[in-house]
A and B are shown apart, each in its own frame.
Chain A
Amino acid sequence: MVGANDNEEFVQEFLVESTENLDQLDRDLIALEQAPGDEERLASIFRTVHTIKGNSGFFGFAKLGALTHSGEHLLGRLRDGKLTFDDRITGSLYSMVDAVRAILRTIETTGNEGDHDFRDLAQWLTAVAAGEGVEPAPPVPMRGETPPAAAVAAPSVPQPSPATPAPEKPPAADRSVSESSIRVDVGLVGSILDLVGELVLARNELRSIDTTDPAVLAAAHRINTVTNALQETAVKTRLQPIEHVFSKFPRTVRDLAVSCGKEVQLSIDGGDTELDRTLIESIRDPLTHLVRNAIDHGIELPEVRASRGKPQVGRLALRAFNESGQVTIEVEDDGGGIAVSAVRAKAVARGLVAADEAAALPDERVLQFIFEPGFSTAAAVTSVSGRGVGMDVVKTNIEAIGGTVDIHSRPGLGTTVRVRVPLTLAIMPALIVRSASERLAIPQAAVRELVPLHADRESDRGGLRIEGLDDAPVIRLRGRLLPVVFLDEFLGLRPRTACRDEGTVVLVRVDDHEFGIVIDGIRHGQPGAAGVGESASLSTVVVKPIGTLLSQIGLYAGATVLGDGGVVLILDLRGILRAADLPAGREADETSPPAATSDADRYLVCRTRQGRRIALPLERITRLEHVAAADVQPLGDRQVVRHGAGFTAVVDADRLLGDEAMVGNAMKLVVLGGDEGAVAVAVGQILDVLPAESPLQSSAVSTGVSGLLALGGMATEVLDVSRGLPW
């Protein structure tokens, strides 16, 4: 016999294997409950318990051995037909599984079996095996994070348990699968992936060798084929079926249903959908939470269901599938749904939204309040809508791994929560873009749209042009003004002018901010010309860390090696958003176009060429322009700038204020629409668009000023444009 502490490695293996076996036991027991006559299943359970017993003997875990021995005895009598399967027996077997789990956990943390003696449980199992034992099973002390509901697995629950009929088909992780797989160190898998990457590069070099030797060509072709297949296979080694998470749920659902006095039928679909192993771990808790919510609050009590004309047995569906490069996991119940009115009322009560606004919000939007931090912890909502305890935590956890959560509810019919997560964090689809001489990668998950820019201002070809000025360039897209970053200029690669009007805007969304990244123009006519012909291409990249030295720059999330051997930096969009100091942190509607009704209280804040801070009412502004001084022509005592076929009068802001107009090379024009036609006000610098923070104070103001306003925390003079401009 081997001492418990002598062979840590073997003990570790024993723990891992036994834990897997217990999961299998849970599944088998549930299946057996459903089909008590399933001899094969019973035999499988017997074998599993026997294995654990054998191993505990080998490692000298006496308590574990005694307990599993009693269990095995009971199972043996069942197998031999000496006993018939009933709820009491099921309960006692569940208790045994829980006890074994508790002991294993103690062994894992302390290295020994711990003080708790399971002798009473063992005796009780023996009694049950002898056909006696009417008293309830002794409680199983639970350590750590065991689902509290697991305790109710004891057969003290008088109610028979039709609670959880087994999934219609056996879970994908069948016995045979675990027997045909091996455990491999994750680091080893990483090194294999790295080496495959090297091989790909060597293969590319081989391909570029100019030769006509048929033998070499044939060999090169074979190496090429094998390398491709190897790369594909190697990437897959990191992936695990989501079954690893799902497999816990039949038991969780059964226990929860029993403890809530509900009847729930769980169906699991797509357990073989694969996901990176690190992500599998990250979604475990959020999913458990969603399942818990669905049973605890979603699915009604059998009486209630009956009175509503629904089948007594509630339905809970877990589904996983691949969708557009991501994995979607759905948790759907056919319970009472969420009382949208209660959520709406709660949102108003919490001051998240004004009452009249809330009334106008569509239900789908109202449901999103459930994800607000602390929103649903209040008892009022929990008891009324019965949904969403800790949904903010679920959302935070899912977003931390680059995923999204959304919720749909049909009152009285049920709720669906949809979680979308990337396949993996180590490998992700990215847009490889070109800016000046550099290639960079933009994570595709954030990319919303690619829009070409057109120099032609009157273009109606669907493209965009950059509006606004040097300091605050924007694009107008479907009625919204979105800030843009010129990637070349931003990264200091070259002055921005190079792609100002013929690049492509990559529209990205980070957290709640949308902005555009201007990359080099799409050049037509020479597709596929070794990265020169296209400005952007989609590629699946392996993310490599770049270390503190470079991550401290705050602009790069990592780097990747492309198929041609080139190293490409992956942009950290959050970092760019921060560093570029874009007008962020505001509701999207604040960047709405001047035509919007809500512009009444918004002002464009500028600096005149003399340096005075002024504001212009946004509702009067039609566009912003950047012109060279040479474009402004004197016309008599006036100045005009040419616009297409017509002219627009230009008036200097400083002159309006009674100051001298400064002469400069370039100026910014704020074009105002008016009844008598457009007028352009020349200013030095556009600062921002800000909402008024105070009422307009119009007493004691100087020439050309209609009043004073607090804008962005500063007193700002509002240029008087109400009475027409004196030009």
Chain B
Amino acid sequence: MVSHVPCLDACSFRVATHCFAVDSGCVAEVLHSAKLTPVPLAPEAIAGLLHLRGTIVPVIDLGHRLGLPSTDAGSGRTNLVLRLGDDCYSLLVDEVLDVQSIPLERIERPTAAAGHTATDAVTGVFAADTRLIHILDPERLVQSLIKQRTTPFVRHGVSHGG
């Protein structure tokens, strides 16, 4: 028997009133109030582009994606830059909380009624002292955005008859 318990090193953060966490191993950087470049006609969950030392990073508005309206003003939000394989993505969150070791055995299966709309990207739930932390799989989150084009492309104001 091994004495230590297998753990997930998780970086937790807050979106609106909910807490989420991702594997801290994929967190590359935390940026406060970075300047975002909007991307016209991008899916609505794309908040824009971030310039991070020569790399162009798409920024995902996590609150929008999860159906959780942000309680903070846009400017004060934080970019949690994740490295997934060769790609970088940034999650726009309200506040980064801390990094903690969560014993895998205490992570439970997510419940359907979590109050947000991305149950497919939430792989587990962990009941911390004061709050519930949803464990997020960033890979699945990105994939869900790639498949689901929230803004089907339409040329504005034009209808082609005939």
Report which of B39, B51, B158 forms a contact with A550, defined as CB distance below 8 A.
B39
Contact partners of A491 in chain B: CB under 8 A: 40-41
Question: In chain B, what residue has the closest Cβ to A552?
Answer: B146
Q: Is B142 an interface residue (CB 8 A)?
A: yes
Contacting A at CB under 8 A, from B122-159, are: 142, 145-146, 149, 153, 155-158
Contact partners of A569 in chain B: CB under 8 A: 37, 39-40, 49
Q: Is A581 an interface residue (CB 8 A)?
A: yes
| Residues A605 and B162 in contact, CB atoms below 8 Å apart | yes
A693 to B21, CA, bound (A): 63
A489 to B156, CA, bound (A): 7
B80 to chain A, nearest CB (A): 16
B16 to chain A, nearest CB (A): 23
Question: In chain B, what residue has the closest Cβ to A193?
Answer: B54
A714 to B162, CA, bound (A): 8
Q: Is A471 an interface residue (CB 8 A)?
A: yes
Fill in one digit per residue for B32-43: 1 if any A CB lies within 8 Å of its CB, else 0: 000001111111
| Residues A197 and B54 in contact, CB atoms below 8 Å apart | yes
| Residues B155 and A490 in contact, CB atoms below 8 Å apart | yes
| Residues B54 and A685 in contact, CB atoms below 8 Å apart | no
| Residues B162 and A549 in contact, CB atoms below 8 Å apart | no
Q: Is B114 an interface residue (CB 8 A)?
A: no
| Residues A567 and B37 in contact, CB atoms below 8 Å apart | yes
Contact partners of A489 in chain B: CB under 8 A: 156-157
A565-B41 in contact given A549-B89, A552-B146, A579-B155 (Cβ < 8 Å): no
A454 to B85, CA, bound (A): 51
| Residues B46 and A550 in contact, CB atoms below 8 Å apart | yes
Report which of A197, A554, A566, A613 forms a contact with B162, defined as CB distance below 8 A.
A613
Report which of A496, A546, A568 forms a contact with B157, defined as CB distance below 8 A.
A496
A417 to B131, CA, bound (A): 72
Contact partners of A566 in chain B: CB under 8 A: 37
Q: Is A553 an interface residue (CB 8 A)?
A: yes
Q: Is A38 an interface residue (CB 8 A)?
A: no
Contact partners of B63 in chain A: CB under 8 A: none
Q: Quick one: which of B37, B39, B88 has the most chain A CB within 10 A?
A: B39
| Residues A561 and B51 in contact, CB atoms below 8 Å apart | yes
Q: Is A407 an interface residue (CB 8 A)?
A: no
Question: In chain B, what residue has the closest Cβ to A690?
Answer: B162
| Residues A553 and B39 in contact, CB atoms below 8 Å apart | yes
| Residues A687 and B161 in contact, CB atoms below 8 Å apart | yes
Question: In chain B, what residue has the closest Cβ to A560?
Answer: B56
Report which of B37, B41, B43, B53 forms a contact with A195, defined as CB distance below 8 A.
B53
| Residues B156 and A547 in contact, CB atoms below 8 Å apart | no
A485 to chain B, nearest CB (A): 9
Contact partners of A568 in chain B: CB under 8 A: 37
| Residues A565 and B51 in contact, CB atoms below 8 Å apart | yes
Report which of A193, A549, A554 forms a contact with B58, defined as CB distance below 8 A.
A549
A554 to B157, CA, bound (A): 19
Question: In chain B, what residue has the closest Cβ to A437?
Answer: B38
Contacting A at CB under 8 A, from B46-63, are: 46, 49-51, 53-56, 58, 60
Q: Quick one: which of B51, B145, B153 has the most chain A CB within 10 A?
A: B51
Number of A-B contacts (CB under 8 A): 102
Contact partners of A559 in chain B: CB under 8 A: 37, 49, 56
Contact partners of A712 in chain B: CB under 8 A: 162
| Residues B40 and A492 in contact, CB atoms below 8 Å apart | yes
Q: Is B105 an interface residue (CB 8 A)?
A: no
Q: Is B98 an interface residue (CB 8 A)?
A: no
Question: In chain B, what residue has the closest Cβ to A190?
Answer: B54
Contact partners of B54 in chain A: CB under 8 A: 193-195, 197-198, 544, 561
Contact partners of A613 in chain B: CB under 8 A: 161-162
A438 to B41, CA, bound (A): 13
What is the number of residues of chain B that contact chain A, defined by CB distance less than 8 Å? 32
Contact partners of B89 in chain A: CB under 8 A: 547, 549
Contact partners of A565 in chain B: CB under 8 A: 51
Report which of A495, A549, A567, A579 forms a contact with B153, defined as CB distance below 8 A.
A579
A569 to B54, CA, bound (A): 14
Contact partners of B158 in chain A: CB under 8 A: 470-471
Interface band, chain A = 35 or more
Contact partners of B37 in chain A: CB under 8 A: 559, 566-569
A558 to B58, CA, bound (A): 12
A607-B53 in contact given A547-B87, A579-B153 (Cβ < 8 Å): no
| Residues A198 and B53 in contact, CB atoms below 8 Å apart | yes
Q: Quick one: which of A549, A605, A712 has the most chain B CB within 10 A?
A: A549
Contacting B at CB under 8 A, from A652-703, are: 685, 687-688
A553-B162 in contact given A546-B49, A569-B39 (Cβ < 8 Å): no
| Residues A545 and B56 in contact, CB atoms below 8 Å apart | yes
Report which of A546, A567, A685 forms a contact with B161, defined as CB distance below 8 A.
A685
Contacting B at CB under 8 A, from A180-207, are: 193-195, 197-198
Question: In chain A, what residue has the closest Cβ to B160?
Answer: A581
Question: In chain A, what residue has the closest Cβ to B145?
Answer: A549
A249 to chain B, nearest CB (A): 37
Fill in one digit per residue for A461-488: 1 if any B CB lies within 8 Å of its CB, else 0: 0000000001100000000000000000
Question: In chain A, what residue has the closest Cβ to B151?
Answer: A553
Contacting A at CB under 8 A, from B105-128, are: none
A470 to B156, CA, bound (A): 11
Contact partners of B60 in chain A: CB under 8 A: 549
| Residues A607 and B55 in contact, CB atoms below 8 Å apart | no
Contact partners of B156 in chain A: CB under 8 A: 489-490, 492
A556 to B46, CA, bound (A): 14
Report which of A493, A496, A546, A580 forms a contact with B56, defined as CB distance below 8 A.
A546
Q: Is A555 an interface residue (CB 8 A)?
A: yes
A447 to B39, CA, bound (A): 23
Contact partners of B146 in chain A: CB under 8 A: 548-549, 552
A566 to B56, CA, bound (A): 11
Q: Quick one: which of A195, A561, A566, A567 has the most chain B CB within 10 A?
A: A567
| Residues B162 and A688 in contact, CB atoms below 8 Å apart | yes
A198 to B55, CA, bound (A): 10
B159 to chain A, nearest CB (A): 8
Q: Quick one: which of B40, B156, B157 has the most chain A CB within 10 A?
A: B40
Question: In chain B, what residue has the closest Cβ to A607?
Answer: B161
A613 to B162, CA, bound (A): 8
Q: Quick one: which of B60, B89, B146, B156 has the most chain A CB within 10 A?
A: B156
Q: Mind listing 30 A-B residue pairs with CB under 8 Å?
A: A197-B53, A198-B53, A198-B54, A438-B38, A471-B158, A471-B160, A490-B156, A491-B40, A493-B40, A544-B54, A545-B56, A546-B58, A548-B146, A549-B43, A549-B60, A550-B39, A550-B46, A552-B149, A553-B39, A553-B41, A553-B43, A556-B39, A559-B37, A561-B56, A567-B37, A567-B51, A569-B37, A579-B153, A605-B162, A613-B161
A-side interface residues toward B, CB under 8 Å? 193-195, 197-198, 438, 470-471, 489-493, 495-496, 544-550, 552-556, 558-559, 561, 565-569, 579-581, 605, 607, 613, 685, 687-688, 712, 714
B-side interface residues toward A, CB under 8 Å? 37-43, 46, 49-51, 53-56, 58, 60, 87-89, 142, 145-146, 149, 153, 155-158, 160-162
Beyond A491-B41, A553-B41, A568-B37, 20 additional pairs, beta carbon < 8 A: A193-B54, A197-B54, A198-B53, A492-B40, A496-B157, A544-B56, A547-B58, A547-B89, A549-B142, A550-B39, A552-B146, A553-B39, A553-B43, A554-B153, A555-B41, A558-B56, A559-B56, A566-B37, A567-B50, A569-B40
- 6 residue pairs, one from A and one from B, having the closest CB atoms: A194-B54, A491-B40, A567-B37, A544-B56, A559-B56, A549-B58
